[in-house]
Chains A and B, each alone.
Chain A
Amino acid sequence: EAQVTQNPRYLITVTGKKLTVTCSQNMNHEYMSWYRQDPGLGLRQIYYSMNVEVTDKGDVPEGYKVSRKEKRNFPLILESPSPNQTSLYFCASSFGGRQETQYFGPGTRLLVL
């Protein structure tokens, strides 16, 4: 089944404790992206990647890191999480880039205490 998977789905952590949210897609998509979703603000892009070893900042990259060592994986790293990073995070992928349909993962709900 073609899908985007994220792990973990739910995470509670404390300020400053490094964490990684994994994202994997099995559709051989070149483009992958991370979004955060907050009430009233819609989806905002954190980082995106056009291909392996190519990553770029989105609209809200502060406090986040990403890597794209393999085509299928695009982990999101929070080196020192803070409470304002409490949010619902979505990974997405598409074949050709922003102007192609993006397929979203199920989401990761993060609470930073």
Chain B
Amino acid sequence: GENVGLHLPTLSVQEGDNSIINCAYSNSASDYFIWYKQESGKGPQFIIDIRSNMDKRQGQRVTVLLNKTVKHLSLQIAATQPGDSAVYFCAEAYDKVIFGPGTSLSVIP
């Protein structure tokens, strides 16, 4: 069935290190992918997106990589800070949006 999943449910990183959060999607027809950040007690917040005609997109301290061959999406956070601690969701969109279950990122000061 349709599935957007994450390889690691939890991730702990040292402050200043780079973080990589991975996501697998199952529908090769998906053509839009989004990463959201959800802090405790808040709604998901858009971080970065990428369309299927690209394989890499960079934002401020964040990079999303898309590998359509293996249906894999990753979010890289450079120089991770305590404020990056949150749950991160990937989502895929075609005729509907499907969200993954989320990865909890903890930053160790």
Residues of A within 8 A of B (CB): 4, 35, 40-45, 58-59, 90, 92, 98-99, 101-107
Known contacts A41-B101, A45-B97, A102-B97; is A90 also within 8 Å of B43 by CB?
yes
Tell which of B42, B93, B100 touches A107, judged by Cβ atoms closer than 8 Å.
Answer: B42
Question: By the criterion CB–CB under 8 Å, are B46 and A106 in contact?
Answer: no
> Which A residues touch B36, using CB under 8 A?
104
| In the bound complex, CA of A40 to CA of B49 (Å) | 23
Question: By the criterion CB–CB under 8 Å, are B93 and A98 in contact?
Answer: yes
> Which B residues touch A59, using CB under 8 A?
96
- CB neighbors of A among B1-33 (8 A): 4, 31-32
Pairs A-B, 9 closest by C-beta atoms: A104-B43, A43-B99, A42-B101, A42-B99, A99-B32, A104-B44, A101-B46, A98-B97, A99-B93
Question: By the criterion CB–CB under 8 Å, are A105 and B32 in contact?
Answer: no
> Which B residues touch A106, using CB under 8 A?
41-43
Residues of B within 8 A of A (CB): 4, 31-32, 34, 36, 41-46, 49, 89, 91, 93, 95-97, 99-102
- Closest partner residue, chain A, to B6 (CB atom): A42
| In the bound complex, CA of A8 to CA of B102 (Å) | 25
Question: By the criterion CB–CB under 8 Å, are A42 and B46 in contact?
Answer: no
Question: By the criterion CB–CB under 8 Å, are B102 and A42 in contact?
Answer: yes
Question: By the criterion CB–CB under 8 Å, are A90 and B100 in contact?
Answer: no
| In the bound complex, CA of A104 to CA of B44 (Å) | 6
| In the bound complex, CA of A102 to CA of B93 (Å) | 12
Question: By the criterion CB–CB under 8 Å, are A102 and B46 in contact?
Answer: yes
| In the bound complex, CA of A101 to CA of B45 (Å) | 10
